[in-house]
Amino acid sequence: MKNILPLLLLALLFTRCQNNGSNATPTKTDSPAAPTASAAMPSSALADTAALIGVMQRSAADWNKGDLAAFMDSYDDSATMMSRHGLMNKDTMMIHYRQTYFKAGAPLQKLGFDQFQIIPLTGDYVLLTGRFTLSGGNLPVLSGRYSLVCVHRKNGWKILHDHTS
């Protein structure tokens, strides 16, 4: 079942992208502190937008204080990530982050997220896109884009799949 989940999510995403007649409106924010939405958006969608951005802000704060385990808590236990090295599971992601971006338990650079855009997929699933920035530590600034498939679980929003470039 775990091997089928990423394929099902990709199929859902493809189907959603092909449905040009959809009435779903993407929610776009340029500031992590000020989510915006259309006037027609229901209050539940506004709450979800705030909750999703809150997950991203908390994960960046956890990263910046060196708490990699808390940062990884934003990911579902079955989460995967596509990287230039191929598909990784949650445990492999943790090892990759620790070896690449941390030294002696501290991050080499500070992490920030912005330019959020949230697109409802189906049911409890959304596509969250945006920009990450790693800065400081006397290292060059690194910035790129990410696409996250997120799911709403009993314990809140979790990242199911991460594609970061």
Domain containing residue 138: CATH number: 3.10.450.50
CB 158 within 8 A of CB 75: yes
> Phi, psi at residue 48, to the nearest 5°?
-65, -40
Is residue 105 domain-resident? yes
The answer, yes or no, to whether residue 122 has pLDDT greater than 70, is: yes
**What total of structural domains would you count in the chain?**
1
Is residue 97 domain-resident? yes
pLDDT at res. 123: 86
- Of the candidates 112, 111, 145, 143, the residue with the CA atom closest to the CA atom of residue 130: 145
Question: Which tokens hold the place of 13?
Answer: 């995403």
Is residue 13 domain-resident? no
In the chain, pLDDT over 70 holds for what percent of residues?
Answer: 72
| pLDDT tens readout for residues 3-58 | 434 433 433 333 334 333 344 444 444 444 434 443 444 445 556 899 999 999 99
The answer, yes or no, to whether residue 129 has pLDDT greater than 50, is: yes
Is residue 3 domain-resident? no
Is residue 101 domain-resident? yes
Is residue 87 domain-resident? yes
Supply the pTM of this predicted model.
0.75
Q: Who has greater pLDDT, 152 or 30?
A: 152
Domain of residue 154 covers 28-164
Rounded to whole angstroms, the Cα distance separating 1 from 134 reads 35
Is residue 64 domain-resident? yes
Rounded to whole angstroms, the Cα distance separating 132 from 101 reads 14
Is residue 68 domain-resident? yes
